[in-house]
Chains A and B, each alone.
Chain A
């Protein structure tokens, strides 16, 4: 790895900015994501910051099954993000469709629309699991 790439990776791992997108979740996963960012769990100590705009973000954190209406929006948000970009699927729904599998308006998990780098199961995924997933993703970037 040349030195420039090394510096870039180092910087990226130190301050991954995330954007949270709810693709049809029941809210439980979303409040757990927010809870992971608030004082008790404090995901920010890993440099993770919640951003509002896809263009600022490195990691797209998705929760919920993909509903048919939201499918194209999810694609669009993913396309707007700058490379390199990663996707974390939070919750069983985001991983596979979960309890909503088979509903007429549900496409399936996040990976039925865009590629996913990390899956965090749980209904809802607890903040601890979310931190674990985020840290594992960051560790895998080092390689």
Chain B
């Protein structure tokens, strides 16, 4: 790629792994990104419309599958809106169980993200470590809910499964193990110079821009915005739990990493309180089959940020309108801003840093040389390799670290 060339890279049109599949069209000058255009709407399954054709109970099943990584977030958010319309007071125990599953989900999601981030910067050992630790949470979720992903624990009016005493002990045991591992990751993130060099100052989003572009979740919190639905508008049991909203002032990918790993510690704290304070009592109240006419908007702090569901009911057993605004949608505008005037080599990690469920490895990118009309196809894989090689030339190399940590006794 020669510096004098200006060219345009359409990336996509689908990022198959995203909740809201996006298409990035990137204008480049040399190695610098001039601007990014984002288009949404690929990979669209039509869940909102499908919800209108199904009953509320069937919708829970469907809504969980908006995203497999934040499935509990979406189903809780949906159900909270329904419960508000139907004026249902759900039992305290159900609230605590929802909180417990929600926090376990946050842990699995943040660990997953940490691994993906490691992969994007060429630190694959980190991917293997975090994904192995993540299995501890997956086992717990499978034990508590019966499924590793898409837990189906929610029902209108409460939850479907109880947490036994033995299970509560298992949760505490697992949390201890995870806490130790998380401290290890915090150690890596704060002392390992390759990581700091690679992440510090990359994908900058200033405090003002984060507010202006309405960033949500860890993306916003890493720019010093103390925005967290769990504290601002408590739902489930969060109102009676104590925890800190983690923020950071690095305003960059490094900050986002710190926010996420530190949030893991908060999640452990929350889970310990939940297990300790969980009141006895019934699991659910009886919900009517037909939900009275009305509308409600519900908010939920998903691992990636604020999730929002709007429901309008018309007194039948099916909703009239369901609207879902998932956190990634709120964050894509911020990504556009973060990429501007940055190097192409930083693109993978900047996009991954908003955590758009970037788990798929295959993407086709085609490069149009604007001035020569030549066309070149770059695969995501190649961009990934390019990015790692570029940084290696600039002195950031994970090869040694990968080798060293491999034998570190885990």
Contact = CB atoms under 8 A, between A and B. Distances in A.
Interface stretch (A64-72, A82-90, A133-141): A64-72
B14 A28 contact: no
Contacts of B43: 22, 24, 67, 69-70
Contact of A24 (B45, B115, B381): B45
A99 B128 contact: no
B49 A38 contact: no
A28 B69 contact: yes
A96 interface: no
B132 A103 contact: no
Interface stretch (B85-93, B246-254, B340-348, B354-362): B354-362
B106 to A, nearest CB: 15
Q: Name which of B16, B128, B138 has the most chain A CB atoms within 10 A of its CB.
A: B16
Interface residues of A, number: 40
Nearest to A27: B68
Interface string B322-359: 00000000000000000000000000000000000101
Contacts of A126: 148
Given A19-B362, A38-B127, A40-B132, A27 B19 contact: yes
A99 B359 contact: no
B150 interface: yes
| B interface: dominant SS | loop
B374 interface: no
A37 B65 CA distance: 23
Contacts of B386: none
Interface string B363-384: 0000000000000000111101
B44 interface: yes
Interface in B186-230: none
Contacts of A65: 45
B135 interface: yes
Contacts of A29: 68
B131 A99 contact: no
Contacts of A58: none
Contact of B44 (A32, A53, A69): A69
Contacts of A64: 16
B150 A20 contact: no
Given A53-B381, A103-B50, A105-B46, A27 B150 contact: no
A52 B379 contact: yes
B22 to A, nearest CB: 13
Contacts of B16: 21-25, 64, 70
Contacts, number: 125
B399 to A, nearest CB: 19
Contacts of A26: 65-68, 71, 150
A110 to B, nearest CB: 13
Given A29-B68, A39-B128, A99-B62, A52 B14 contact: no
Interface string B40-62: 00111111011001000000011
B172 interface: no
Interface string B106-130: 0000001001000000000001100
A106 to B, nearest CB: 6
A25 B15 CA distance: 11
Interface string B126-169: 01100110110010000000001110000000000000000000
Interface in A115-133: 123-124, 126
A29 B47 CA distance: 17
A29 B149 CA distance: 9
**8 nearest interchain CB pairs?**
A28-B68, A52-B381, A22-B16, A38-B131, A27-B68, A28-B149, A26-B65, A103-B46
Interface of A: 19-32, 34-35, 38-40, 50, 52-54, 64-65, 67, 69-70, 73, 77, 99-100, 102-106, 123-124, 126
Given A22-B360, A39-B131, 19 more contacts: A24-B43, A25-B68, A27-B68, A28-B67, A28-B68, A30-B359, A31-B149, A35-B131, A35-B135, A38-B127, A52-B381, A53-B362, A69-B44, A70-B14, A70-B16, A70-B43, A103-B46, A104-B46, A106-B45
